[in-house]
Chains A and B, each alone.
Chain A
Amino acid sequence: MGVPRGPQPFPGQEKRLRLLAFVRQDSVVRVDKRVEDTAMVWPHLLVIEFIAAMLWTIGLFAISAAFNAPLQDHSTPDCTPNPSKAPWYLLNLQELLLHMDKGLAGVVVPTLWLVFMAFIPYIDRSREGVGIYFTTPKGRTITIFAAVYATVLTFTLIVLDKVLKDVGYIEFASDHFPGGKQLFPNYLIPIATMLGLSFLLVVIVKRLYGAGTREWMIAIFTGFVSVYLVLTIVGTSMRGTGMNLFLPWDVPSTHQCFEPGPL
């Protein structure tokens, strides 16, 4: 027996142990780990990733060859396009701005929404239904219900807001409401509507479907996503001159230069 290869232990430390890994039982080790449930990453996963990357590369080249990125005239601070719109992924916020206070719509609501989103796993802590779309068939029904509920209500509220403003609701509020046209129309009513309708959705799915935590979370998330999409669609394709509401096919083209009249 010769000396084993590799670095030699220091005298007195011949029996060294190496701690390979400290792993919490519940995070990594799968119970009932069967060989037939697994596949080698090379080639099975890598081939999918490679094909997906190739298809998207080709698609991106094709789209980029076919459609040019927009470029308008050099910016001029004196010449405001009517309407001025944010990028489409922020038009949901711009749409919300039309219905309540700017700071509330543009900063407070999206911040609270993101914070709530981040908190979802700390509210719904069960492990039920991991890895299964919608968890249960009931979850799927609740998703459809919440999507319809939120879509219909958001459209209704947008139209209602337009109708009310057309008949002079803001003027009426500034004359008769305590706090004028700020307190009730811009703060209290929108806050009450957003919170109230969210709570109502939870109450309905609990009563109607006997929803548990995961299921009312599905309802509230679906509701948020639906509102987000409706606001994006309305902001993108239904707002024209002066950010007025139009039907998607009647939206007038943007006035490229709105010069303020004589003061």
Chain B
Amino acid sequence: MSTTAAPAHDRPRRWDSPFSDEITDADVQSLLSRAPFVNMKADNFPRSATLPDVLKNDTRICRYKKGEIIVREGDYGTSAFLILRGTARVVLSPALPPSAVGRREPARRGIFRAIAQLWGNAKEDEVARKRDRSRFMRQDEGETHIILQDIPRILDKHRTATINAGDFFGEIAALSRMPRTATILADEDDTQLLEVRWQGLRDLMRYDPALRSHIDRIYRERALSTYLAEIPFLKHLDEAGKAKVMAATQFETYGDYDWSGDYKKLAQSGGSAGKEPVIASEGDYPNGIVMMRAGFARLTQRYGGGHRTLNYLGSGRIYGWNEIAHNWRQPDNTVPLQHTLRVIGYTHVLVIPASIIEQVVLPSLPKHLLPDLIKTEGADAASPFTRTPFALAEEKAKDSPEKKSEAASAESRVGSELMEFLTANRFFNGTETMVIDMDRCTRCDDCVRACASTHDNNPRFLRHGPTHDSIMVAQACMHCADPVCMIGCPTGAIHRDSFEGQVVINPATCIGCTACANNCPYGSIRMTEQRDESGGILIASDAKPIVKATKCDLCIDQYGGPACERACPHDALARINLNTLDDLAAWLHR
């Protein structure tokens, strides 16, 4: 490896790679003369990110013909849209089938390009190749628009709504780091949209309070109606009942949007469950059910002088349902909340008041969907493993006894100590967590070498990390359900892949600011020095090395999935979704 430094280069900056090259100064002036930008005070914006600069660099103007799909349900997106001209139509329910909206897997290397890695890979580590720079420069350009066929039939069979010029949409996915919740298509020819990447939207909201409150309001309204439509027990309600539930439901948010810092402080102070904010407490009267929408919460129960973790609840899980149903069925023998629900991270919840559940929801339900009564005494007292009640009830009705017991016992198969370990370290956030069975791992480092071979000779993870018993969680990007690393990125270099949602870094737009590496609660992002083809470290004009963020990309462009997992000779390493415990329980007992 050469140690000679190459000639100085300009350090990458935020807008070296604007969202689009096609937006002109005239376009910017035109935008500034129309709502909502005309009402924004330019003085509120800092000199480093003026309003014209944000519009010039973080937006682009897109044109669509009638029927062309603008966003697809299920895709990950990091931008919002403002309709400049024309109208758009949002498909509410039922959702369009994937084939109709042209969902397809991301392009992987062809077989010849895979083989060409034998001689084509650079000899030096982290070589910043020119072809890579140009390949990644515009991550969304060249996208082919898909036209939805037979629109009249779709309008006939699917409930839709119209969005008019001047309205924003797409802000839920852009702001919550979640998939798009609906498919939206252009409703007129020459529909013109302003697409704002989320870094720009964040700046606009930060420096213009009016836009912030407007986006917050529509975000809450749309998110609430979308989320409530997913709650299983609403399926049994008539329209009037659904309207009552919707009117009474509260939308609450706990924790800091950027919870990484809080977690690090808590961990440094030897944090325990007792120090986490509480949503609802064991022993209190159950005055509503809490439905998790995003983020996670810890379910605990008093044990001796502390709190024992029984489970963690992610999106779609419900708390307080069993108690309210019990009290409705046995008003003379009421029970309080059996567990405490604590905030871990940034948590969105929906709260439906107990009175609405008792008056509207429970009377509408068939008997077999009601949960079992809570036993306050004996061996079966207050089962702590609160699964989605409807999932359990439906399992009870349909599945074989073996399947039922297997599903219900995932938590017990994992064990409370391992659960405590996963929760204390916030590993539940990972959708592709690298877990290693140290009883089988021979420390051969084949996984590390395979990763290096497929990633510029530099492994994207450390085969080391917190260990519980024989299970190690290695320092590899977990592709979190809530990727806080994305929060501070000024250029959008770290983003979700639109198809499967892997968190990936675009090296062309990464400016090496270290925001993502500092934000990652798990230390899974590393800053690496860039080199030229001869191995010389690239030096910026300030005489410091040019660095870029690197991390596991789950071998998104390779055949067969993650090379680390495929390279393990002993079946010791696996990439596991820890959002729920089912996959982990199955792997532990493989």
Pair from one complex: no
Contacts from A to B (Cβ < 8 Å): none
Contacts from B to A (Cβ < 8 Å): none
